Amino acid sequence: MEPPLHPTELPRHLAVIMDGNGRWAQARGLTRSQGHTAGTTAARAFVARCRELGIGHVTLYAFSRENWGRPKDEVESLFELMRRFLDKELDTLLAQDIRLNVLGDMDALPLLTRKALAHTVARTAKGRAMVLNLALNYSGRDEIVRAARRMVQDGLAPAQITEQALAERLYTAGQPDPDLIIRTSGELRLSNYLLFQCAYSELYFTPTLWPDFDAAELDKALADYATRKRRFGKTAEQIGPTP
Ligand code: FPP
């Protein structure tokens, strides 16, 4: 497939809410876990395509803090899937020079998943071509509260509490904010995702269910993003002509 866009038109950071695995499975008479398996296949292809296009930061919302409320067997199968994904993908991540990073509270995750994550994060630490963030047991509000707590622990005076100081204490410290957030399956909300970082993100919603979100769907989203006039609160005149 043709890379559709000039690199300057691509998001530097692309974040996704991979929604609709359950409905995809239900429509086929499959179990929800089978839907997540199909979602993992889609995630694998998605990451490979982003890497090929040269997108430097990709974030996948794999498990929210609120997802603990799902049936126990679904939660267990999700973590098992993630563990297998990490095992299977390590060589590919290394070959593609991708660094894995986790956004979220790892302490509450099952031991084997935690171990697989720590191993993959350590092994891929030198990856330079792309950062792949997995949001796991993630909550945007909780992330902000933790950053605030750390500013207090670090002894910052009120005048030192700045947006920059807070951003440096988020899970995404050192990374650009997401330029584009994609949500699949027709839901029109952010569900506690990257709440501090999304201030000026472009949002793209599609009815396509996550397991069906293929390279053509990604190209469509990126082409749409390339038409957006990003003004960051300024007037069109202040921004000047777009290239
Ligand atoms: C939402 O679909 C999806 C999730 C809660 C989990 C996303 C996880 C994966 C795609 C698999 C693991 C990913 C990696 C990268 C290893 P849903 O279950 O809410 O679908 P529904 O709204 O149709 O029920």
Any ligand 1 atom below 6 A from CB of 21: yes
What pLDDT was estimated at residue 241?
Answer: 64
**Ligand 1: which of 16, 17, 18, 37 to mutate, most ligand atoms within 8 Å of CB?**
18
pLDDT (tens digit, 9 = 90+) per residue, 100-140?
999 999 999 999 999 999 999 999 999 999 999 999 999 99
pTM, full prediction: 0.94
Instruction: Check if the beta carbon of residue 101 is closer than 8 Å to that of residue 133.
Output: yes
Backbone φ and ψ of 40, nearest 5°: -70, -40
Q: Is the CB of 23 under 6 A from ligand 1?
A: yes
How confident is the model over 213-226, as a mean pLDDT?
Answer: 97
**Å from CA of 177 to ligand 1 middle:** 23
For ligand 1, say whether the CB of 39 is within 6 Å of any of its atoms: yes
47 Cβ closer than 6 Å to some ligand 1 atom: no
Nearest atom, ligand 1, residue 211 CA = 10
> Ligand 1 center to residue 144 CA distance, Å?
24
Predicted pLDDT of residue 113: 94
Which stretch of DSSP H or E encloses residue 164? helix 163-167
Task: Answer yes or no: is the C-beta of 22 below 6 A from any ligand 1 atom.
Answer: yes
7-139+179-228 CATH choice from 1.20.140.10, 3.40.1180.10, 3.40.50.10890, 3.40.605.10: 3.40.1180.10
Helix H, strand E, coil C: the string for 8-45 is HHCCCEEEEECCCHHHHHHCCCCCHHHHHHHHHHHHHH
The arithmetic mean of pLDDT across residues 167-178, rounded, is 98
Q: Is 67 touching ligand 1 by the criterion CB < 6 Å?
A: yes
Q: What local confidence, expressed as pLDDT, does residue 232 receive?
A: 80
Of 36, 65, 214, the one to substitute when testing ligand 1's pocket (max ligand atoms within 8 A of C-beta) is 36
Determine whether the shortest distance from the Cβ of 16 to ligand 1 is under 6 A: no
Q: What is the mean pLDDT of the chain?
A: 94
**Residue 228 forms beta bridges with which residues?**
none
Mean pLDDT over 33-37 rounds to 96
Spatial contact of 210 and 19, defined as CB atoms under 8 Å apart? yes
pLDDT-derived band of residue 8, with 50, 70 and 90 as boundaries? confident
Q: How far does residue 54's CA lie from ligand 1's centre (Å)?
A: 25
21 CA distance to ligand 1 middle (Å):
5
pLDDT at 76: 93
> What confidence category does residue 2 fall into, taking pLDDT thresholds of 50, 70 and 90?
low
**pLDDT of 236:** 77
Q: Dump the DSSP string for 183-229.
A: E-TT----TT-STTTTTT-EEEE-SS-GGG--HHHHHHHHHHHHH--
Residue 239 pLDDT > 80 = no
CA–centroid distance, residue 74 to ligand 1 (Å): 10
Q: What percent of the chain has pLDDT over 90?
A: 90
* pLDDT one-digit tens code per residue, 180-205: 999 999 999 999 999 999 999 999 99
